[in-house]
Structure 1
Amino acid sequence: MATSDDETRDLAASLHTYLKPLRLTGLTAVQATRLVTYETVCWADEQGWKVAYEVWGRITRPSKNGPMRARLDLVCTRPAKQPAVAIEIDRDGKTWSLQKLQAEAAAGRVALWVRWHGHTQAEIPDAVGLVDIHDTADYQRPRRTPRKLPALGSPSAQRNPEEGTVEPLFSAPRRPDPPVLPSPDAIEAARTPAGGFTRAQLAAWGVAWPPPKGWKKELTDRWHAAQTELRDA
């Protein structure tokens, strides 16, 4: 089932309404991105969609290490054979994000671009739904790095934060057994057919949701350290 520009505009308007109450004052750029991502996932959950993070995209771009395949921040799978929803979340207007979303829209997915600060000079086609909250988010670059504070609290508290917080890279386990420590091969093998990772799988590895930047490297480094300890024991 192909998507339409009207559907894209409707979903963009719905997500904009959901994110508009967010206030990002006092947060760092990383914290703001994580909070906007969290609320976007909550919005998708309320629609009854399945959300995968860091999903392979359809295009590549050159890099010093060769062609680099695009990765999408979020891809939401919808029921009844409805087209999936591809979402990019940025502080400002990244041309690469727009190119990724245009490719997804051309393939029949709904493409949404969430921006919480700044503008872009590029023309945004009707096939990409812009969700721009920079006017209401009130983000201001911190003058200095804030102290590390407790993890973000409840969803209601996150929608109206009064001060900056830093969420830990990995969530504390809710059970006595420690999280599974996967090998690099096991991480790649756990990708969904769409190329991403489910919330349940990340939780089994002890990774917070939404997963922070660098989570795979952190798991890989831990696994290699554990193998070294076993060899030296």
Structure 2
Amino acid sequence: MKLEVRAQRAGQSLARWLAPLTFTDWSAARVTAELTRAVVAWGVAHGWRVRREVPSLAELPGAHPDRSGYLDVVCERLDGPPIAIEIDQSEKPWSARKLLVEADSGVVPVWVRWGEPPSGTVPEPVALVVFVTTCRAVGPTRRRLYSRTVDQHPQPSAPPAPATEQPPQHAPTRPRCRATTKKGEPCPIDARPSGLCHVHDPAVQCGRLTRKGSACTVPTGGGPCKYHQDQSQSEPAPPLPPWLPDVS
């Protein structure tokens, strides 16, 4: 799957997660802290390992040459590349640069922007999550307070499925080997017609010895495996002296 598609899917999912969040007259620091908490909760709800203030996965240097740049939130996944998320109130070129560098190293980049609707464009493949708030100045110091209601910003809905789309069909489960591993767990390898995998079925193993002296378990139809066949072809036996008969 392309990185742009992964980023857009992550951004749409995160936008739906953040949409129900509402508040009245919060400071900028409190809004950023609550958005960070909600992003962490989103990652945890997906079963990922979530960390905050993580050094750049792409080893991007920070403001000081001897220090790495930091990412606001990183979600590490077993079924895909990690997701790097930056959370900003304003358009920070440094955040865009960090996410682009992470994307070059294969990390999924997502940028959460809150406050006024952004006016500029976000470079691909960075996914933009817009979290619009209203602002008012109070008191003699004109302190800025931020609010958000669901009525003003309804929750985004998931993209509708095409009318011709068929319901997903589950692929038939493939039979697994009936043997157990050394740890006593079911063997995860696909079974052969004999009911065993190539590791547990000696009839389909090479039978030769590896360099470490253990039996080669490469699957074959009988006889030596391709590796040993190629090896025997690449290293032919030396010719016999003319005074010795060839008895092979």
- Scaled by the length of structure 1, the TM-score of the pair is 0.54
Alignment check: 8 A CA contact 2:52 2:74 kept: yes
Q: Which has the higher helix share?
A: 1
**In structure 2, distance between residues paired with 1:114 and 1:96:** 14
Cα displacement (A) at 1:141: 5.2
Alignment check: 8 A CA contact 1:85 1:110 kept: yes
Alignment check: 8 A CA contact 1:28 1:141 kept: no
Cα displacement (A) at 1:117: 1.2
Is 2:42 the partner of 1:43? yes
- Indicate the residue corresponding to 1:33 in structure 2: 32
Sort the Cα spacing of 1:141 and 1:117 in 2 relative to 1 into closer, same or farther, 3 A. farther
Is 2:116 the partner of 1:115? no
* CA displacement, residues 123-178 of structure 1 (integer Å, 9 cap, x when unaligned): 312210100111xx3344554699xxxxxxxxxxxx98xxxxxxxxxxxxxxxxxx
Is 2:3 the partner of 1:7? no
* CA displacement, residues 7-55 of structure 1 (integer Å, 9 cap, x when unaligned): 1111101101111122243110110000011111111111111111111
Sort the Cα spacing of 1:22 and 1:69 in 2 relative to 1 into closer, same or farther, 3 A. same
Partner amino acid, structure 2, of 1:43: W
Sort the Cα spacing of 1:140 and 1:37 in 2 relative to 1 into closer, same or farther, 3 A. farther
Q: Name structure 1 gaps, 5 residues minimum.
A: 147-158, 161-233
- Indicate the residue corresponding to 2:84 in structure 1: 86
Could you list the structure 1 runs, at least 4 aligned residues long, displaced by more than 3 angstroms after superposition.
65-68, 118-123, 137-146
Alignment check: 8 A CA contact 1:29 1:141 kept: no
Does the residue aligned with 2:26 lie in a helix, a strand or coil?
coil
Of 65-74 and 21-30, more deviation after overlay is shown by: 65-74
RMSD: 2.7
**In structure 1, distance between residues paired with 2:83 and 2:134:** 27
Partner amino acid, structure 1, of 2:15: H
Q: Name structure 2 gaps, 5 residues minimum.
A: 150-248
Does the residue aligned with 1:51 lie in a helix, a strand or coil?
strand
Is 2:141 the partner of 1:138? no
- Indicate the residue corresponding to 1:224 in structure 2: none
**In structure 2, distance between residues paired with 1:89 and 1:103:** 16
Cα displacement (A) at 1:60: 2.2
Alignment check: 8 A CA contact 1:112 1:130 kept: yes
Partner amino acid, structure 2, of 1:74: V
Of the two, which has the highest radius of gyration?
2
Partner amino acid, structure 2, of 1:60: P
Tell me: higher relative CO, structure 1 or 2? Use CA pairs within 8 A at least 6 residues apart: 1
**In structure 2, distance between residues paired with 1:16 and 1:116:** 11
* Total equivalences in the alignment: 143
Alignment check: 8 A CA contact 1:90 1:115 kept: yes
- Indicate the residue corresponding to 2:51 in structure 1: 52
**In structure 2, distance between residues paired with 1:55 and 1:42:** 17
Does the residue aligned with 1:26 lie in a helix, a strand or coil?
strand
Alignment check: 8 A CA contact 1:60 1:68 kept: yes
Partner amino acid, structure 1, of 2:39: T
- Indicate the residue corresponding to 1:99 in structure 2: 97
Does the residue aligned with 2:14 lie in a helix, a strand or coil?
helix
**In structure 2, distance between residues paired with 1:15 and 1:105:** 18
**In structure 2, distance between residues paired with 1:141 and 1:90:** 20
Does the residue aligned with 1:5 lie in a helix, a strand or coil?
helix
Does the residue aligned with 1:124 lie in a helix, a strand or coil?
coil
